[in-house]
Amino acid sequence: MNKQCLFIIFLLIPFFMFAQSEPKDWNKKKSFTSNSNSRISKNQRKKPFQKPKRKTKYMFPEWSFDAGFGSTNSFTDIGGKEYSGKNSFVDVQLSTTRLDYTFFFEYRSGTREGYVFAFNIGNISGSDALSPNTSRTERNLSFTNRIYELGFKHKFYFPINIYRNGWYYQEPLQYYLYYGVAYFFHNPKLNDPSGRYTPTKSFSKFQGAIPLGMGIHYTFEKHFRVGFDIGWRFTTTDYLDGFTTDFSKCQDSYAFSSITFGYALSKNKYKKRVNDTKPRFKLKVF
């Protein structure tokens, strides 16, 4: 009996030894596997592709001082093309086009918005003698007027951007639309050879207008800028020509188109201008 008990104990001793040692060996193996996986994940495993964060090298805010000259046209009761007069560009008498001068200061807060304070001087004129085959030809009125306009405009830019090495660079060529408010002084001089027409109503020489327009400009050599701007002014008066009729359907209006030249200053945060000229790899509009 004692021999049988000793034999059974002898058989059970390796089992207990294995049971006690196995967790220790397993823990070591598990620890080794975990460490190896961590080393692989840090050094050998390839990270999934991640789109680079959007970083910019724009130079905002930006200030610019511009001046320019161009042409002025008017849309009034006097003049216009053949047939009935229309308050649109198709009714422009090119022979009555006159010069305008513009001066403005722009503050651009970001890639999409700018704020402009502008001063414009424009001359407008019109003549019934240039309206063939109409009753206005027999009327034979003409006028001249000089407009002094002070206005504020809100610009919306459509920037074209270049993506390169994780950065977005803004193209030097910029497009924009704008709207605003304006206040102007004018003093029309009506020419009536027959003496039949005289203003029957008094009108204020100070009037308001709503400018709407579009433009483009290009910045080069870091600071210098050249552009083109065209805009329509919807006014609050029907007396830009010093004359009105009972058949007039809308207020008079005028338009400026100018070539502009300017100088831009910016907060140079990244020591590079927005009109970076390095090789371009990817084009994006946003």
> In terms of DSSP bridges, do strands 167-170 and 55-56 run parallel, antiparallel, or are they unpaired?
parallel
Name the pLDDT band for 133 (thresholds 50, 70, 90). Answer: low
Please give the structure tokens belonging to residue 93: 């008498």
Residue 227 CA to residue 225 CA, distance in Å, equals 7
> Is 120 within 8 Å of 102 (Cβ atoms)?
yes
| Domain around 239 | 55-285
In a domain, 150, yes or no: yes
Name the pLDDT band for 81 (thresholds 50, 70, 90). Answer: low
In a domain, 5, yes or no: no
Please give the structure tokens belonging to residue 25: 């060996």
Q: For the chain, what is the radius of gyration of the CA atoms?
A: 38
**The pLDDT of residue 73 is above 80:** yes
Closest CA to 255 of 122, 96, 114: 122
Q: What is the CB-side half-sphere exposure of residue 229 using CA atoms within 13 A?
A: 33
For 217, the enclosing helix (H) or strand (E) is strand 206-220
In a domain, 63, yes or no: yes
Single pTM value for the model? 0.70
- Chain segment 163-221, per-residue pLDDT in tens: 667 666 678 899 999 999 999 999 999 888 776 666 667 889 999 999 999 999 998 88
In a domain, 211, yes or no: yes
Residue 143 CA to residue 227 CA, distance in Å, equals 31
Domain of 109: which CATH number? 2.40.160.20
Residue 252 CA to residue 239 CA, distance in Å, equals 7
In a domain, 69, yes or no: yes
Name the pLDDT band for 70 (thresholds 50, 70, 90). Answer: very high
**The 3-state secondary structure of 28-39, one letter per residue:** HHHHHHHHHHHH
Q: What is the mean pLDDT of the chain?
A: 77
In a domain, 143, yes or no: yes
Closest CA to 237 of 202, 278, 273: 202
In a domain, 29, yes or no: no
> Domains in the chain: how many in total?
1
Greatest Cα-to-Cα distance within the chain, rounded to the nearest angstrom: 152
In a domain, 95, yes or no: yes
> Is 165 within 8 Å of 131 (Cβ atoms)?
no
